[in-house]
Amino acid sequence: MWHRYACLIVAANVAGAATASAASPDTPCGKHDAGAAGNVALPAMSIKTALYGVAVSGRLLKVDLDGGKTTILSDHGFESMPSLRASADGRWLSYSGVLKTGNKTQYWLYDRRRHSEQLVYEHPAWGGGIPAFSPDSRYLAIGAAYDSRWGGASGDGLFLFDTQTSRLLPVKLPPGISGRQAWPSTSWSRDGTLLLLARGLLPDARFSYVGYHPASTRSSMLSGQYDAQEHRYTFKRGNKTIPAADEGVPRSDIAHESGWSPGRQWHAYFDQRQDSRPYQLLVADKAGAIRPVAVGGYSQCEGYTLNIIGWFDERHLLYRSGMTTYRVFDAETGNTADLPGEDDMPLSFTW
């Protein structure tokens, strides 16, 4: 079983009751009952989906759910778990972090189609941000702000890596704005035409908002503000808000209130999830037949103990139980299976 961010294959009986018990508000973090183990071996599930993720060791891993095999795709000696981002078309994985030597931050790009990787950029340790893919998956935006620990070294700036040409392109900023200053936000407009940049200048926390147009290589000043509810910056041109693209965070890191299977045969949702009272995670078919999946509660340190992550395919629903256990519900067979693995398993993953 996965010991840190464990993934467990779980399926509900057609008429069976949920097996996971709810946590009380006073339950210690990560100590609520995660439910019973699976009743079949993983190969019997025939899940064809593969997981791609990063582990606490800094490795990039692939986990084949069909047989439980874990493959190390990359190990560049990162100091800790690197950041992970996935392109919208699913082809590219960006992972970056500080090396164990402590002298460099590296940005790598893995091609799932060709099963190859390449070093995109590097600079002295610290001062780096999390890269962001354009909605069309062509560009990867990289921002590196100068850090005083660099000494006299260089490497700061804003860049776009073009996945079509494998070229690293500098981003031109408006006059008077230096790439050396911090860029806490690097994102894209939903239509992919603008790279959106928010720059914070200390100590008075003044912000500048910039839009960069890759097609023309021109940039322009925008207005904006930080949206505390969405935990991201919003950008405006005049009085019109610029719709933002998804950030491409790993699927394991996103929780949903509900979710349909790809062919909309099944719908997963929560029944009366509010306050600290126990609630149920349920799935319903198109005819309205309901099947219980698990019972959750509320923990003061974990929040809601059940979260919907997404569907692997038309049958298998992935959800998170507590902070460290992931489970998949088989909506057709009612079988359950533990996902075997080692301690060095993905903590953040996508598929």
Question: Region 302-320: what's the mean pLDDT?
Answer: 92
Confidence of residue 241 (pLDDT cuts 50, 70, 90): very high
Which residues make Cβ contacts (< 8 Å) with residue 325, sequence separation at least 6?
2, 5, 6, 7, 8, 34
Across residues 20-45, what is the average pLDDT?
59
Q: What is the mean pLDDT of the chain?
A: 83
> Is the peptide bond prior to 184 cis by the omega test (within 30 degrees of 0)?
no
At residue 31, the pLDDT reads 55
Report the predicted TM-score, pTM, of the whole model to 2 decimal places. 0.83
Please give the pLDDT value at position 95.
Answer: 95
Higher pLDDT, 287 or 334: 287
Question: Distance between CA atoms of 327 and 250, rounded to whole angstroms?
Answer: 16
For the chain, give the percent of residues with pLDDT over 90: 51
- pLDDT digit string, tens, across residues 41-71: 777 888 999 999 998 889 999 999 887 788 9
One-character DSSP codes across 40-57 = S-GGGG----EEEEEETT
Closest CA to 283 of 74, 10, 84, 92: 10
pLDDT at 180: 65
According to DSSP H, which parts of the chain are helical? Answer: none
Question: Given this model, what pLDDT does residue 17 score?
Answer: 40
pLDDT at 1 over 90: no
> How far, in Å, CA of 70 to CA of 52, rounded?
10
End-to-end CA distance of the chain: 19
Q: How far apart are CA 216 and CA 236, in angstroms?
A: 20
Evaluate if residue 7 carries a pLDDT over 60: no
> How crowded is residue 303: how many other Cβ atoms within 10 Å of its Cβ?
11
Would you say residue 24 has pLDDT above 60?
no
Distances (CA, A) of 109 to 79, 163, 191, 201, 334: 18, 9, 23, 30, 39
- Specify the range with the lowest mean pLDDT, choosing from 4-8, 18-22, 117-121, 191-195: 4-8
- Chain centroid to Cα 206, Å, comes to 29
Q: What is the pLDDT of residues 179-221, one digit of tens each?
A: 666 666 789 999 999 999 987 765 556 788 999 999 999 999 9
